[in-house]
Amino acid sequence: MLTFMASDSEEDACNERTSLMSAESPVPRSCQEGRQGPTDGEDAAQWGSQGREEVQEEDPDRYVCSGVPGRLPGLEEELTLKYGAKHVIMLFVPVTLCMVVVVATIKSVRFYTEKNGQLIYTPFTEDTPSVGQRLLNSVLNTLIMLSVIVVMTIFLVVLYKYRCYKFIHGWLIMSSLMLLFLFTYIYLGEVLKTYNVAMDYPTLFLVVWNFGAVGMVCIHWKGPLVLQQAYLIMISALMALVFIKYLPEWSAWVILGAISVYDLMAVLCPKGPLRMLVETAQERNEPIFPALIYSSAMVWTVGMAKPDPSSQGALQLPYDPEMEEDSCDSLGEPSYPEVLEHPLPGSPGEELEEEEERGVKLGLGDFIFYSVLVGKAAATGSGDWNTTLACFVAILIGLAWAHTPVSSGLRLQGWHVPSATHTPCHSEPRVSQGSGGDPITLSPSSGIGRLLAVFKKALPALPISIAFGLIFYFSTDNLVRPFMDTLASHQLHI
């Protein structure tokens, strides 16, 4: 919360900067519209705000497009770096909050650690007599899960290609309805059971109804920024809890690893579904799926040479749900549809209106997988906190590393997902990734997270955090834990 407030105040304080920066953003955006990345709103955003300036430097055409002559590349880079650090922090807070909610629930509510069946996407059981059999089953589970994800993603690409926007939109709405009402009801029920609190049905109905209805409004339409952020964090936490409950032990770890690899491939391979999505969006010059994106700032429209009072003001962006998580299972986690309203008056006058996007975006898939990793670490039988904390720190390190603004030697390339905020003058509703009643639609973006530019290549950031998290989990659980337990029991401090 503090971070959010701080970013708001900073925005107030930096109006000049805003207007300076905004001078470049819009035009490049229109030039690069095609380059918008899809789901990766997550990536995009994060990347978008940082990278845009640098990208502009890189490409002379783009620079020309930017329409801001005389803007020093150095200044841009410095601004990028300054905002880069701030953006990293703006991501630390929500990611930390989501993980805290998940870990707190896992440690206190027994329900989410009880084995109560498995998803149909992981049909092989892990209650096998031999280790080899168990390993084989978990690998098979992973293959099935991953192929479902790939199929859903391709289905999404196909839907998008054939412009079935309404279908996707409806699907997303159904999904978010289910998540906001059903899962919340179950969660509330379990928490009340754990703490032995009596609640009557009318009160419960009122609470769940209000929570769900406000959530739908905030997510799919407009709402106060902080409320939207809070809802997205809660939704990610709920989704992560479902994953933690229904994925068997070994399968969960193998799936996490496989998702990271898949993300890497989907982003980098020429025929990857994500890439195709991006290219399609580029061809159509459309912003890509609103998807489920967590955004930490608002979009300002600042008029430049031709002030247009009607267009000024801050816009609150509704969050676009990302399909990623659809992946859920039998319960059909839906992805949330995203409809962005376009407040900008469309038009030629647009050139003079600059949008400045401040803040960073991260896809909800990232939140979910980070929380699954930390939650699984917390759920292990030994009740060890060191492992949980080590995974938490590993994920934050991966986040920071992936978001560190690159030094002048590195270029940012890759996809530019404009903030889900704008796309001036598009009358069509944004296409949301639909997960539809279907089970898993894991948007590729889920993994994609943000893009990191390293040596002229775009890399997804999720794999870095997950890789660190996995390494830290296994090494802490097997090497550090016994050692620290012995030290603590004898009160030896090293």
Catalytic site residues?
Answer: 263, 366
Q: Indicate the burial class of 409 (C-beta count within 10 angstroms; 0-12, 13-18, 19 or more).
A: exposed
Stretch that binds other proteins, among 19-27, 210-218, 351-359, 380-388 (CB under 8 A): 380-388
Alpha helices in 295-442 (DSSP H): 364-379, 385-403
Tokens found for residue 7: 């970013």
Residue 165 DSSP one-character state? H
Determine if 92 is a binding residue for other proteins (CB under 8 A): yes
Contact 333, 179 (CB under 8 A): yes
Tokens 């890399």 -> residue: 459
Q: Is 16 in the site for other proteins (CB under 8 A)?
A: no
Tokens 């639609």 sit on residue? 441
Task: Give phi and psi for 119, each to the nearest 5.
Answer: -70, 160
82 lies in the site for other proteins, by CB under 8 A? yes
Which residues make Cβ contacts (< 8 Å) with residue 489, sequence separation at least 6?
none
Residues in a beta bridge with 300: 314, 356
Which of residues 174 and 452 has its CB atom nearest to other proteins in the complex?
452
CB of 473 to other proteins, least distance (A): 15
100 is a contact residue toward other proteins (CB under 8 A): no
456 is an interface residue for other proteins by CB under 8 A? no
Convert residues 104-133 into a mask of x (bound to other proteins by CB under 8 A) and - (unbound): ------------------------------
Tell me: does residue 78 bind other proteins (CB under 8 A): yes
Q: Minimum distance between the CB of residue 67 and other proteins, rounded to whole angstroms?
A: 24
x/- binding map, residues 393-422, to other proteins, per CB under 8 A? x--xx--xx--xxxxx--------------
Binds other proteins (CB under 8 A): choice among 283, 341, 428, 485: 485
The piece of 24-32, 76-84, 262-270, 450-458 that touches other proteins (CB under 8 A) is 76-84
Q: What is the DSSP string of 94-111?
A: HHHHHHHHHHHHHHH-GG
19 binding other proteins? (CB under 8 A)? no
Nearer to other proteins, 86 or 450 (CB): 86
Helix (H) or strand (E) holding 26: helix 26-32
Q: Are 454 and 410 in contact (CB under 8 A)?
A: yes
Q: Does 265 bind other proteins (CB under 8 A)?
A: no
Strands (E), 297-444: 299-303, 313-315, 353-357, 361-363
Positions that interact with other proteins (CB under 8 A): 2, 77-79, 81-82, 84-86, 88-89, 92, 383-386, 389, 393, 396-397, 400-401, 404-408, 480, 484-485, 487-488, 490-494
